[in-house]
Amino acid sequence: MANKLIYMDGQKAVDIWEGNEGWTILSGDDTKTETREYYKFIPTLYRAVQLRMNAISTMPFELLKGKTQVDYSGDWQNKVNFMPNPFALLELVEASLVVAGCAYLFREKSQVATKGLRYHLPTSVTPIIDPERGLEGFKRPVNNVEKRFKVEDYVYFWPPDPYVEIGPAYNFPAQAAANASGVLLNVDVFAASFFKRGAIKSMLLTVQGMPKEAERQKLSDWWRNVVGGVKNAFGAQVINADAITPVVIGEGMKELENVSLSADKREDVAVALGIPMSILFANAANYATSQQDDLNFLTKTVIPECSFIASVLNEQIFKKEGMLFRFMPETLDAMQEDEAARSVALQQMTAAGVPLLMAMDILGFELTDEQRAELEKAVLEKEARAEQMVQQLQGKPASDDEEDEPDEDDQEAKADLKRWERKSLKALARGDKALVSFVSDHITTADAQRINAGLETATTADDVRAVFRGTNGKPDAKSVAELTEALRSVALAMRDRERDD
């Protein structure tokens, strides 16, 4: 009689050589688990999505008509009459964007106005897209009957995706975390199944000789009693050890001691959803790290997401109503603390001699062109006054021209030179030539020709600065560096005088 080979994992016992089941069972279930299953069963992913939902829904916002505030989150009155609970809507929109790559709000309308916004499952709405004409509408099953809707019936959120021309994103945070979530889910399922089948490892059972049909049934019944799961884990059995040989081919719980694998996958989930590990797991090394991570989460993940959501709401709803929906992250305590810290740092840097505009650029202050122009003009006026003070301290009489206010054309020329220098430095940083076109009505022709000639051979940032050094609209004017040194000399002289007094 031939030997019999049986595969057993604690719940199933099959003859490997009879049919294909014995082999296919080894490969497990090949059904693809959807992201909603990961969201349901993976605590790390669930918590990460909740954090993003909470961050969006608690971000302060306001509704403006012109410059007048119509409504705001601190005391929402639903002045628009179709958003009684915007916080819940924002939560659902964010969750849908994270786990599905799109979000849909159905617009409940009367003949003339929107009466409400109702969240619809992203998996239930299908956009109708023509390759040439673009979006033509939507379809959704209603009472098991497919119903079509116009484009304006939905407020649709489709985040940008480089692999999608028009339509929902194909790549989104939960999708990026799918592989890591799958590993974590399979580890959990393995542990649960292992104990469910009585903590028995998968094994092969070899039987010497092929028993008769009756004996084979007795053997099968006996084996099921031995390995029938946790309910029989403590049952007593008598076996013929010479006739039956179990061969372990699976692993047990010891192999799950590789905690680094689970930790790496949880970190992958956090990275995919843009959440610092210290926020997701409360494992910050110190308070300062925790504060910085909170700020990073706001500036790198939450605020950009708020900007996207607000842009969709404005484009598809509020713009037509003559209003503007705006989030207000600057009102958060964390952002105000950051602004206060940057202001202190700015004061310290300027006190140490760093030019104001340079210090503001280093610290990340965002200025409009108009604000920068005004600051440049103010800085130049301050430098001129400082130069006069230096000359007075050195005992040099100021000339009549120096006593007068700086010439307006001269100030404009200095401001243009700074803009030209900044434009050349930016071009060089992009990998382009430092020689860039610049038109000015205040820079002299001779200075412009000299600068163009110098920029033509400039290859480094220092080269560019050297070209502009000493050219402020007048041939004998001092450079910014010299003026900065003069300011520091004045400060030192005044400090020494105070000490002597």
| Per-residue model confidence as pLDDT tens digits over 245-285 | 666 655 555 555 555 667 888 888 999 999 998 888 877 56
Q: Are residues 378 and 483 in the same domain?
A: yes
- Structural domain for 57, as ranges: 35-176
Question: If you write DSSP's letter for every residue of 271-319 in order, what string do you get?
Answer: HHTT--HHHHH---SSHHHHHHHHHHHIIIIIHHHHHHHHHHHIIIIIT
Question: If you write DSSP's letter for every residue of 180-234 in order, what string do you get?
Answer: HHHHHHHHHHHHHHHHHTTS---EEEEESS---HHHHHHHHHHHHHHSS-GGGTT
Q: Are residues 65 and 167 in the same domain?
A: yes
Dist CA 10 CA 7 (whole Å): 10
Q: Are residues 55 and 144 in the same domain?
A: yes
Q: Are residues 147 and 207 in the same domain?
A: no
Residue that finishes a domain, picked among 107, 141, 176: 176
Task: Provide the pLDDT for residue 385.
Answer: 73
Q: Are residues 172 and 227 in the same domain?
A: no
The pLDDT of residue 201 is above 50: yes
> Which of 329, 418, 405 lies closest to 374 in space, CA to CA?
418
- Structural domain includes residue 320: no
Residues 473-486: pLDDT tens digits?
443 334 445 445 54
- Structural domain includes residue 189: no
- Structural domain includes residue 300: no
The pLDDT of residue 244 is above 80: no
- Structural domain includes residue 192: no
- Structural domain includes residue 182: no
Unique residue bearing structure tokens 């004045």 = 490
- Structural domain includes residue 57: yes
Q: Are residues 108 and 51 in the same domain?
A: yes
Q: Are residues 165 and 253 in the same domain?
A: no
Dist CA 52 CA 91 (whole Å): 8
Q: How many domains does the chain have?
A: 4
Report residue 84's pLDDT band, with 50, 70 and 90 as the boundaries: very high
Residues 173-189: pLDDT tens digits?
998 888 887 777 676 66
Mean pLDDT of 482-499: 53
Q: Are residues 39 and 166 in the same domain?
A: yes
Q: Are residues 371 and 448 in the same domain?
A: yes
Distance (Å) of CA 156 to CA 148, 245, 307, 364: 15, 63, 15, 34
3-state SS record for 352-404: CCCCHHHHHHHCCCCCCHHHHHHHHHHHHHHHHHHHHHHHHHCCCCCCHHHHC
Lowest mean pLDDT among 197-211, 268-282, 430-444: 197-211
The pLDDT of residue 171 is above 50: yes
Question: If you write DSSP's letter for every residue of 70-90 in order, what string do you get?
Answer: EEEGGG---TTSS-S-HHHHH
- Structural domain includes residue 293: no
> Which of 51, 54, 55, 101 lies closest to 277 in space, CA to CA?
51
- Structural domain includes residue 292: no
Predicted TM-score (pTM) of this structure:
0.57
Report residue 236's pLDDT band, with 50, 70 and 90 as the boundaries: very low
- What average pLDDT does the chain have? 76
